[in-house]
């Protein structure tokens, strides 16, 4: 056997032994998909106006203070909170809808800055 293969084979054997001795892998479940698409809940779609959202879903339970708008290239973002989701508007059009936490103990996105 050529001498240069001995370190390669030793490293391969050591790596295999370490993999066999490693504990099983575990991971946290990300809530990105659930937070983007509330299951079984009709939500406002991108492009709807504020008037359309209020006409279809009623008045929001809370209207958070607008953010941004200090410069022309930074549009003002408005946030309306409903019981099941929060709607984000750029100027007066929906840009995104995100589900609120399902339970108080759920680990997920941080609450909105108020």
Give the per-residue pLDDT at 7: 73
pLDDT digits over 62-101, tens only?
Answer: 999 999 888 888 899 999 999 888 999 998 999 999 888 7
Spatial separation of the C-alpha atoms in residues 17 and 15, rounded to whole Å: 5
Where along the chain do its domains lie?
Answer: 27-99
Q: Residues near 66 by Cβ (< 8 Å), separated by ≥ 6?
A: 76, 77, 78, 79
Considering only CA atoms, which of 42, 87, 47 is closest in space to residue 64?
Answer: 87
More confident residue, 24 or 61: 61
Cβ atoms of 99 and 37 within 8 Å: the answer is yes
């Amino acid at each position: 056997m050529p001498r240069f293969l001995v370190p390669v084979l030793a490293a391969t054997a050591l790596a295999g032994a370490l993999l066999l001795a490693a504990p099983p892998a575990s991971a946290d479940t990300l809530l990105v998909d659930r937070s983007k698409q509330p299951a079984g809940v009709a939500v406002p779609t991108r492009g709807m106006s504020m008037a359309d959202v209020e006409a279809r879903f009623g008045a929001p339970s809370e209207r958070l203070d607008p953010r941004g708008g200090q410069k022309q290239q930074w549009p003002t973002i408005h946030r309306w909170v409903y019981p099941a989701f929060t709607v984000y508007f750029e100027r007066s059009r929906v840009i995104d809808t995100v589900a609120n936490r399902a339970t108080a103990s759920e680990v997920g996105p941080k609450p909105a800055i108020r």
